Chains A and B, each alone.
Chain A
Amino acid sequence: MAQTEQDGYEKRLGEFAGREAAPPRPGPDPVNVPMIRHWVEAMGDRNPVYLDEEAARRTGRAGIVAPASMMQAWTMRGYAAATAGQDDGSGLGELIALLAEGGYTSVVATDSEFAFHRELTVGDHVGVREIIESISPEKKTALGAGRFVTTERTYLDQHGETVAVQRWRMLWFRPARTPPGGREPAALRPRPAVNRDNAFWFEAAREHRLVIQRCDACGALRHPPGPCCPRCGSYGWDTAEASGRGRVYSYVVSHHPRHPAFEPPYVVALVELEEGTRLVTNLVGVAPEEVEIDMPVALEWLDPDPELSLPVFRPVTA
């Protein structure tokens, strides 16, 4: 696409944020024992509170409840709708058509975040209302280039009360060409364990800023960060923004074990920033056999998935 055309496409996609994906629609059937039985048999779930009134009452419940994870199943439209095609005139139907225009014709679900307000009992009749939250810029994924579409689904009972809320994310992608013998599936990089002491660094990375923790008493820079200055003992700190220039201090070319998010051989480097701190990172734009210690490198950003942005480095001439 030409740039203006591209901008126009982005704008049209952006207009879907905040729109209703589909009008509220009740599930085909109220909560009922036969569908629960079908579910728990298939899942191998032997929890008695789903089928045995007496067992359910022994746990303090009024009677049988449905498995929490079944919430979405009560609103699935089933065989006839699945085979009849997607464009039903809803906001989501329009969005799917626009995504197809961009070549994003395949879809996989990637995330589901459920918060349950109450358990469902036999006779409850659940419907769902879905709002489109965001459409990501194009991301490179192992499945192909694609866009993550995030929606919020609110599940309502027969009285209009909310029984659960679900954040739901799907990846719409252009299928990459399949090499003979199949291809590696999409996989995410290992998640960093983010906590109160390191969250600022990963949040800055999401904004594509490489920061270094700085003691507000003595000015010492430190990475990896911590709650307290080892030099002067101060708990106060702010951050300095790194220039993004540094040198390779050491590196590893990893071959084994295979992790689906990494294509071996790949380079993990220890880069010493010109500010003096070091960090573990990846090198891009260089073959493993060309990497050298002391090689000058400059910062770039990698967004392997919507939740994660990581600083990586590319060799530059000194």
Chain B
Amino acid sequence: MRSRAYDEVTVGETLPELPVPLTRTLIVATAIASRDYQDVHHDPGLAAERGSPDVFMNILTTNGLIDRYVTEWAGPAAEVKAIKIRLGAPNYPGDTMVLTGTVTAKHDEDRRVEIAVRGANRLGAHVTGTVAVRLPGGAES
């Protein structure tokens, strides 16, 4: 994986789209990997009792996927400085979330780049937010 340098990034540039197939296994596996055992993230019967049509992805996983999305683009040298998200439509099994992103700001003083991120499923926006990463200065090998 190549690391992106601060100077090669321009405001307005878009990140490649990342479709994330939302399998039931993904939703359960990521909930457990984040040590989140709330029933709505793994038990369809109890989720229905609570008024949800099915289990849905937990917010820690949304954070994790957005972190992955931005650092895949930015490369291993990037340091994540902030992840701010707001959730909308839930991620249910069988859907696909498509992540998109746009560079919205650059801060020369600490080589920090801000990226507006959106993850949409067929119900609408699952997540909108911004991620800030610090990038290396010169071009890296």
A–B direct touch in complex (beta carbons closer than 8 A): yes
What 1/0 flags go to A108-139 for Cβ under 8 Å of B?
Answer: 11111111100100000000000000000000
Q: Does B30 contact A42, Cβ atoms closer than 8 Å?
A: yes
The answer to whether B51 touches A114, judged by C-beta atoms less than 8 angstroms apart, is no
**B15 in the interface, Cβ–Cβ < 8 Å?**
no
B79 cross-chain contacts in A, Cβ below 8 A: 68, 119
| 6 A-B pairs whose Cβ atoms sit less than 8 Å apart in the complex | A69-B60, A69-B67, A82-B36, A111-B85, A116-B82, A175-B51
Going nearest first, the 4 A-B pairs with the smallest beta carbon separation are A182-B53, A76-B35, A69-B67, A68-B80
Residue of B nearest to A77 (CB): B35
Given contacts A83-B37, A113-B84, A59 and B77 within 8 Å (CB-CB): yes
Taking the complex as formed, is A38 at the interface, i.e. its CB lies under 8 A from any CB of chain B? Answer: yes
Tell yes or no: A3 within 8 A of B by CB: no
Binding site for A on B (CB under 8 A): 1, 3, 20, 26, 29-30, 32-38, 50-53, 58-61, 63-68, 71-72, 76-77, 79-90, 123-125, 128, 136
Q: Contacts A47-B1, A48-B1, A182-B53 given; indicate if A114 touches B82 (C-beta within 8 A).
A: yes
Query: Is there a chain B Cβ closer than 8 Å to A231's Cβ?
Result: no
Q: Is A260 an interface residue (CB 8 A)?
A: yes
Please give 11 more A-B residue pairs, beta carbons under 8 A apart, in addition to A38-B33, A58-B76, A59-B3: A46-B72, A67-B67, A69-B63, A82-B36, A106-B50, A109-B59, A111-B84, A114-B63, A187-B123, A187-B125, A260-B124
- Is the Cβ of A112 less than 8 Å from the Cβ of B29? no
**Could you say which of B63, B66, B80, B84 contacts A72, with CB atoms under 8 Å apart?**
B63
Q: Give Cα distance in the complex from A58 to B77, angstroms.
A: 8
Q: Does A186 contact B (CB under 8 A)?
A: yes
Of chain A, the residue at the smallest CB distance from B83 is: A114
Quick check: B61 and A43 within 8 Å, CB to CB?
yes
Q: Which of B32, B36, B80 contacts A69 (CB 8 A)?
A: B80
Flag if A43 contacts B50 (CB, 8 Å). Answer: no
Q: A interface, how many residues as a size bin?
A: 35 or more
A114: which B residues are within 8 A, CB to CB?
A: 63, 82-84
> What is the minimal beta-carbon distance from A160 to any residue of chain B, in angstroms?
22
Residue pair B87, A109 in contact (C-beta under 8 Å): yes
Residues of chain A within 8 A (CB-CB) of B35 are 73, 76-79
**Residue in contact with A115 in the complex, picked from B52, B81, B86, CB distance below 8 Å:** B81
Q: Which of A59-111 contact B (CB under 8 A)?
A: 59-60, 67-70, 72-73, 76-79, 82-83, 106, 108-111
Instruction: Provide the A39-57 mask, 1 if CB < 8 A to any CB of B, else 0.
Output: 1011111111100000110
Residue A302, interface by CB 8 Å: no
Among A43, A46, A83, A259, which residue has its beta carbon within 8 angstroms of that of B30? A43
Contacts of A109 in B (CB 8 A): 58-59, 87
Instruction: Decide if B33 touches A188 in the complex (CB within 8 Å).
Output: no
Give the residues in chain A near B72, CB-CB below 8 Å. 45-47
Closest CB-CB distance, A186 to chain B, in whole Å? 7
Nearest residue, chain B, Cβ from A56: B76
CA distance A47 to B71 in the complex (A): 8
Residue of chain B at shortest CB distance from A262 = B124
- Cα-based distance from A260 to B79 in the complex (angstroms): 35
Q: A69-B60, A175-B50 are in contact. Are A112 and B83 (CB under 8 A)?
A: yes
